[in-house]
Amino acid sequence: MEALIDMTKNTDNKIVSVPQQIFDQFLKELETQKAPEEVISRLRRTLVENEQISVEALKTALFSSDNSNV
């Protein structure tokens, strides 16, 4: 039973890191496509630092000129 619990913990750790890797890759691609730096910065703060992926958080990151809400 302990092995099953340990395996679950290890799997959870890997799952958490996968979205961050995807978001990092996405943000790097935005940089190569010459997306505005302020948009990339807001998306990085929303997706990677704050770990928010709601529709409202993404709308704010993409369309807000004021990044205090992010």
- Domain span including residue 56: 18-69
**Is 52 a domain residue?**
yes
pLDDT, tens digit, 9 for 90 and up, residues 6-59: 444 444 444 446 888 899 999 999 999 999 999 999 999 999 889 888 999 999
- DSSP string of 5-39? HHHHHHHHHHHHHHHHHHHHHHHHHHHHTT--HHH
d(CA 1, CA 41): 44
Domain count, the chain: 1
**Is 13 a domain residue?**
no
**Is 54 a domain residue?**
yes
**Is 30 a domain residue?**
yes
Residue identified by tokens 């807000």 is: 64
pLDDT of 62 higher than 50: yes
Q: How many of the other CB atoms lie within 10 Å of CB of 58?
A: 16
**Is 58 a domain residue?**
yes
Specify the pLDDT at position 7: 43
**Is 6 a domain residue?**
no
Residue 57's SS3 state is helix
